[in-house]
Chains A and B, each alone.
Chain A
Amino acid sequence: MGRIGRFIDERLDVSPLVRAFLDRRMPGNIGWFHTLGSATLFLIVVQIVTGIALSLSYVPSPDHAYQSVLFIDQTPFGALVRAIHHWAAGLIVLLMGLHILRVFIWGAHRYPRELTWMIGAGLFFVVLGFAFTGYLLPWDQKAYWATVVGTNIAGSAPFVGGAILEALRGGEQLGAVTLARFYGIHIWVLPAALLLLVGMHLFAIVRQGIAASPRRRPLVESEPGLSRREAYAIEYAAEKRAGKPFWEAILKDATVAAVLTVVLLALALGPGAPLEPQADPNITNYVPRPEWYFLDLFQLLWYFTGNLEPLLIFLTFTLASLIFIFVPFLDRGRHRHPRQRPVAMGLTAVVVVGVLGLTYLGASASPPGVVRVPPTEGMSGPELGGLQVYNEQGCSACHQILGIGGQAGPDLSRAGRRIEEADMRRQIVTPQNDEMPAYDGLSQQQLDDLVEFLKSLR
């Protein structure tokens, strides 16, 4: 400790606090997976610092927002700071997801850390709120259309949906009021909530000590007659005796933070932060797609149809959120080791596969209405003619061939194998269902070619 340190300590007597913090013992089997939480915290600090810097040159108004972002990009280091803010936002969602998964698999949400989990769940929603409000701010096409869709999804809640939607947009329309509100929420409301929750989360972690990694057999056998608290205290004390001091673990956290800094710089200097053309509410050929971490939810909306859709969306999201928040009270039981919790681990695997699958489908789905099916080698003259008719008539608005096209109608990838020629002709000219328009204006040649093309799909 240097002279300044001694000067401060003589007056404030802080060294016992620092020593108690650094030297407190923690369970031994704390590894790299345990750095996910501190990595998320590190990125949050990065976001606060870069966000404050960006706010110095940003104006939250439709007249100026986009131009002020262009100005930021032209200012020295501006593009770099904006790109770091952009990529760290995505990484937070990713690392937070992995952190949640780690905690659940390790069983660290169990007694006595249920509150820490629930505060963390709150943090998860705050971070998603940051992402949602943040990407309106550049006021580019993606910003505008993602917010149109996002506010409409929020508006699907029963009874209060309209009120929520208009509270978010600041009225029915999406414009100057919306941008000002989103900015205020992004830089004041959510940071306040974030700091409060992070403070509570860290307080709980330091107060209780980090959860020991689960063992199939506890270090000390529990004696009968002890209360849950007593049994836990004895067990945790044994873990700490077999453990190591806290300062030993910080090295791993610091290493991860350093690696993340390199990754952030690489992403920021490489791809940089995207910026689409300025928001144009009056464009009809734009294809809205959300940021990758909302793709799963976006894709999920394909599967809800009918009049009850808004209600189903709301119930699904609400139920999923409630299960997530209260999972410590659902997943109880004596054993914490993942191998002793087959049901919980099975359900976790289903959720992970579901999220990854939906994200993949959302990322790879080509938008309907704007795509053409390319010709393949070896197609005959009539088949090529049929393909041309298929593309001219916009069939891929609703139908898919080998992954190209919409999903409203049946997939035609194997139409030649599945549908009889006579049925094809009848369905095209006089469709049996209301959904498909009748293509009765085709010439005989066009119809023959189209059928020839469809028959070749096997």
Chain B
Amino acid sequence: MDEHRVPGRSSSDPVDPGATTSSPGGGDLAADETAQARAELSRRNFVLRALAFIGGGIAAVLGIPVIGFSSAPGWQAKAPIRLLSTSIVPTLRSSALTSVGRVADFEVGAPQFVKVDRPIVDGWVAENAPVGVHVVRTSETDVAVFDPHCTHLGCPLAWSTGSRSFVCPCHGGSFNSDGDVIAGPPPSPMVRYEVQVQDGEVFVGALQEGA
């Protein structure tokens, strides 16, 4: 082994246990020493294996809960498992029915951005927090409500009155007032909210993700 070593390098290798087997001398004494060395070597191997076993056991027993806890949001993920994964809007989720105004407040074909307080749950935080939505009146009686995040990478979508489209400032994605993609990289239409119209008042419910 020594002749392969880079010259000038310090020899700090642990003592090779095999070296004891080639000790000079002869006779029974040497044979005894050799047998003793062999026994020691096999015990050494045993101890090292036992150490690996004990260490592995401890790592598994402690590692499973630690890694399991840390990665829980991953293996509890609601996103479907599929080849072409899609982005997920960052909006704080709420399933409550929240009024965003009356149908008559909105002009047909002229989307409006509305912020409403909704009861959200964010980890250990449960509170009323403002949530912004694009409200589009599509006919005399119908209203569509969109989440204001691009389906490409989640950048904020603003309605551009001139080009009559929702425009994404990141990579130029744009959507028409129905939320359909008209240009750029977004892979899917804008995310809609569940909408209920009761007596002319518009209520939004849960996000309709993956729809």
Contact = CB atoms under 8 A, between A and B. Distances in A.
Interface stretch (B16-24, B98-106, B146-154, B192-200): B146-154
B167 A368 contact: yes
Contact of A393 (B10, B78, B163): B163
Contacts of A166: 73-74, 76-79, 88
Contacts of A125: none
Contacts of B76: 166
Interface stretch (B32-40, B41-49, B53-61, B180-188): B180-188
A208 B5 CA distance: 11
Interface in A173-208: 173-177, 180, 207-208
A165 B156 CA distance: 19
A285 B156 contact: yes
A281 B91 contact: yes
Given A237-B8, A437-B176, A284 B148 contact: yes
A434 B174 CA distance: 12
Contacts of B176: 437
A436 to B, nearest CB: 8
A159 B81 contact: yes
B160 A307 contact: no
A397 B182 CA distance: 12
B132 A282 contact: yes
B165 A437 contact: yes
Contacts of A288: 155-156, 169-170
Contacts, number: 231
A406 B170 CA distance: 10
Contact of A394 (B8, B84, B131, B163): B163
B80 interface: yes
A283 interface: yes
Contacts of B130: 282
A388 B163 CA distance: 14
B140 interface: no
Contacts of A164: 74
Contacts of A336: none
Contact of A162 (B77, B125, B131, B162): B77
A365 to B, nearest CB: 10
Contact of B173 (A145, A172, A408, A436): A408
A167 B185 contact: no
Interface string B1-21: 001111111100000000000
Contacts of B28: none
Contacts of A162: 77-81, 85, 88
Nearest to B82: A159
B153 A393 contact: no
Interface in A282-317: 282-288, 298, 301-302, 304-311
Nearest to A156: B85
B165 A285 contact: no
B25 interface: no
A295 to B, nearest CB: 12
B3, B6, B83, B130 interface centre (most CB from chain A within 10 Å): B6
B122 A176 contact: yes
A151 B86 CA distance: 11
Interface footprint category on B: 35 or more
B163 A434 contact: no
A239 B40 CA distance: 42
A74 interface: no
A427 to B, nearest CB: 14
A149 B154 contact: yes
A283 B115 CA distance: 10
B149 A148 contact: yes
A162 B3 CA distance: 54
B155 A310 contact: no
A285 B85 contact: no
Given A176-B123, A176-B124, A408 B161 contact: no
Contact of A161 (B9, B85, B171, B182): B85
Given A148-B153, A158-B83, A173 B7 contact: no
B84 to A, nearest CB: 5
B110 to A, nearest CB: 13
Contacts of B209: 172
B133 to A, nearest CB: 9
A90 interface: no
B90 interface: yes
A68 interface: no
A398 interface: yes
B8 A163 contact: no
A67 interface: no
Contacts of B9: 207, 209
A152 interface: yes
Interface string B118-159: 000011110000111000000000000000110011111111
B77 A163 contact: yes
Contacts of B92: 173, 175, 281
A393 B162 CA distance: 3
B172 A407 contact: yes
28 contacts: A148-B153, A152-B152, A156-B85, A159-B81, A159-B82, A162-B85, A165-B77, A166-B76, A166-B78, A167-B74, A174-B90, A227-B4, A229-B4, A230-B4, A233-B7, A281-B90, A282-B148, A284-B148, A284-B157, A284-B158, A286-B156, A288-B170, A301-B170, A391-B162, A392-B162, A394-B161, A409-B183, A435-B183
Given A172-B209, A177-B123, 9 more contacts: A148-B155, A149-B170, A155-B87, A169-B88, A175-B122, A284-B156, A307-B84, A394-B163, A397-B162
Which 6 A/B pairs are nearest by Cβ-Cβ distance?
Answer: A162-B79, A161-B85, A394-B162, A167-B74, A282-B132, A369-B167
